[in-house]
């Protein structure tokens, strides 16, 4: 349906390049996804390895909710993950949000999308305006990087306010000499809690 295709396009604007390190094994086996969460994990073959993608089975906002795991390479743009973990996290959020804002506004004009209902239009437009004002300064909506109880580096961001806000998390997992990125995107606080639990379950090699 047009709304679903547009939502997937929106997500692609925020998710970084998904090339994985050569020789990596599928990653879903390293995550615990409870059946009761109504989430599914899929290993997707990419250049040189795999990307794990966790998403809801269905639902009105399911197209906007994703958790992805990818292995990083020690060369190129991700080298900072080995040298300055917190700096690498912050670099992931130095993106231009205007294209996302434009796509989000388009949802209010799509009659096939549940978000186009009158009650949601104002909230969607307010979120789009907030994102547009950020421009390339998306980091302004983020907290300072912290460590989770399991040792993952974590950057939390929130764009917009109630009743509609985009929750974004970027995590860096340090596993010996290997590094993994975990990205979370969702408009649902409930899904955010589910995704956080899944991210925390990531097992080291």
**Using one digit for the tens of pLDDT, what is the confidence trace for 165-190?**
888 899 999 999 999 999 998 888 99
- Tell me, what's the pLDDT at 19? 40
Residue 125 scores a pLDDT above 50: yes
**Using one digit for the tens of pLDDT, what is the confidence trace for 87-109?**
999 988 876 566 667 767 776 66
pTM as predicted: 0.77
Residues pairing with 184 in the sheet: 67, 169
Tell me how crowded residue 140 is: count the other CB atoms within 10 A of its CB: 11
Cα angle 190, 86, 131 (rounded to 5 degrees) comes to: 50
**Using one digit for the tens of pLDDT, what is the confidence trace for 40-90?**
999 999 887 899 999 998 755 566 789 999 999 998 889 999 999 999 999
């Amino acid at each position: 349906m047009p709304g679903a295709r547009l939502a997937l396009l929106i997500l692609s604007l925020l998710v970084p390049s998904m090339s994985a390190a050569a020789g990596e094994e599928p990653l879903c086996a390293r995550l615990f996804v409870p059946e009761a969460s109504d989430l599914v994990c899929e290993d997707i073959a990419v250049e040189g390895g795999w990307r794990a993608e966790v998403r809801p089975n269905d639902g009105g906002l399911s197209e906007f909710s994703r958790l992805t795991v990818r292995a990083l390479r020690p060369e190129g743009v991700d080298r900072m993950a080995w040298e300055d973990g917190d700096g690498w996290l912050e670099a992931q959020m130095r993106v231009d949000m205007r294209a996302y804002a434009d796509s989000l506004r388009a949802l209010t004009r799509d009659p096939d999308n549940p978000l186009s209902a009158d009650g949601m239009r104002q909230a969607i437009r307010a979120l789009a305006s907030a994102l547009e004002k950020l421009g390339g300064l998306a980091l302004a909506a983020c907290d300072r990087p912290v460590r989770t109880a399991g040792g993952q580096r974590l950057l939390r961001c929130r764009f917009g306010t109630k009743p509609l806000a985009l929750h974004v998390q970027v995590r860096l997992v340090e596993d010996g000499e290997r590094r993994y990125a975990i990205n979370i995107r969702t408009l649902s606080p409930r899904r955010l809690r589910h995704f956080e639990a899944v991210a925390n379950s990531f097992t080291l090699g």
